[in-house]
Amino acid sequence: MSELLLELRGVTKQFPYRSGPLRRVVGQIAAVRGVDLAIQSGEIVGLVGESGCGKSTLAKLITQLEPVSAGRIAYRGQSFTNGHASLAMHREIQLVFQDPTSSLNPLQRVGATLREPLRLHRLVSSAGACDEAVERLLAMVGLPQSYQRRFPRELSGGERQRVAIARALAVEPKLLILDEPVASLDVSIGAQVLELLRRLQQERQLAYLLISHDLRVIGSMCQRIAVMYLGRIVEEAPAAHLFRQPAHPYTELLLESAGLRHAGIEDQGELPSPLHPPSGCAFRTRCPLAQPRCTEENPLLLEKASGRFVACHFRP
């Protein structure tokens, strides 16, 4: 019994680009360009892409850290692109950041870090209930109770990330956005954190938006995957289809580069600057299928088969 939690329609975000000694605005960086995305409750959606594709910016837009330049974001049908999100909204959607060292206040003890959201959202009615809740949170992420008194610098990277996860889940969100949750961690520690996330998702029927540049991480967790390139979603499909039958040439290139596919694709191009994205299809500078049409017309993300979307003039 799933419902539509999050819906993005035509979401666009531009940042002014300043240059020169007077820091004058000389251009716009279009970090996110016309993104459509939908996340159902209890679903694990992956967002994969390389530097500058806009995936982290998208996380900031969804959590209202940055305002949208154009387009619409709606949660359970309620739009919240204008102005600040209500306190209630912050209970529904939470975010775990990439770097656990800088995502925790270095001067705040673990216990206080976990108490803060509980008190803010009035989830506990007394100090005793608060203490119990903090104990439950620590147990939930597999940390000993003695850690309440510790400062972040006394914890290892993996432990800090667990605290960040506990903090995010303290408000009992329905949607958890994970922005490169294991990129700063050693592989074996990261594996434990991913396992924790998997378990929590099943226990609580959470929806995840997992953002990563690492296809293997995405592939190990996600049911549905969206591939981003220079601010646009170029392909979206169920995980199994994406890995076995990638439709978009960029997806093919990503899989090849990650060693998940061996089709001998050639690529000598580089990521174009987000300041001057290629006209039409942004991938055309590196695409073996490029034709004059690709320069003039940006391919729209169209549903080619049920649940499978591709933005390419020539695929599938």
The residues binding another protein (CB under 8 A) are: 50-51, 60, 63-65, 87, 89-91, 94-95, 97-99, 102-108, 116-117, 120-121, 164, 167, 171, 186-188, 190-191, 194, 213-217, 219-221, 239-240, 243-244, 253-254, 256-260, 267-268, 270-271, 273
In the complex, what is the shortest distance from the CB of residue 92 to another protein, in angstroms, rounded to a whole number? Answer: 10
Which two tokens mark 97?
Answer: 């950041």
Q: Which is nearer to another protein, 9 or 91 (CB)?
A: 91
Q: Which is nearer to another protein, 38 or 89 (CB)?
A: 89
**Phi–psi pair at 34, nearest 5 degrees:** 60, 55
Q: Which is nearer to another protein, 90 or 174 (CB)?
A: 90
Q: Which is nearer to another protein, 31 or 36 (CB)?
A: 31
Which two tokens mark 56?
Answer: 């982290």
Specify the amino acid at residue 108.
Q
In the complex, what is the shortest distance from the CB of residue 207 to another protein, in angstroms, rounded to a whole number? Answer: 16
- Enumerate the β-bridge partners of residue 238: 224
Find out whether the peptide bond into 316 is cis, omega within 30 degrees of 0.
Answer: yes
Which two tokens mark 300?
Answer: 């729209």
Task: Return left, alpha or beta for 302; rule: phi > 0 is left, psi -120 to 50 is alpha, else beta.
Answer: beta
Q: Which is nearer to another protein, 38 or 171 (CB)?
A: 171
| Coil, strand or helix at 248 | coil
* DSSP state for residue 17 in the 8-state scheme: E
CA 201 to chain centroid, in Å, comes to 16
In the complex, what is the shortest distance from the CB of residue 206 to another protein, in angstroms, rounded to a whole number? Answer: 16
Q: Which is nearer to another protein, 104 or 226 (CB)?
A: 104
In the complex, what is the shortest distance from the CB of residue 95 to another protein, in angstroms, rounded to a whole number? Answer: 5
Specify the amino acid at residue 29.
I
In the complex, what is the shortest distance from the CB of residue 132 to another protein, in angstroms, rounded to a whole number? Answer: 20
In the complex, what is the shortest distance from the CB of residue 251 to another protein, in angstroms, rounded to a whole number? Answer: 11
Q: Give me the sheet containing 175-179, strands edge to edge.
A: 93-96, 175-179, 207-212, 44-48, 224-229, 232-238, 308-310, 302-305
Which two tokens mark 172?
Answer: 């009992």
**Contacts by residues 79-87 (CB-CB < 8 Å, ≥ 24 positions apart):** 87/120, 87/121
In the complex, what is the shortest distance from the CB of residue 240 to another protein, in angstroms, rounded to a whole number? Answer: 6
Residue matched to tokens 């949660």: 75
In the complex, what is the shortest distance from the CB of residue 42 to another protein, in angstroms, rounded to a whole number? Answer: 17
Q: Which is nearer to another protein, 94 or 298 (CB)?
A: 94
Q: Which is nearer to another protein, 1 or 83 (CB)?
A: 83
Which two tokens mark 270?
Answer: 């580089």
Q: What is the distance between the alpha carbons of residues 53 and 51, in angstroms, rounded to a whole number?
A: 6
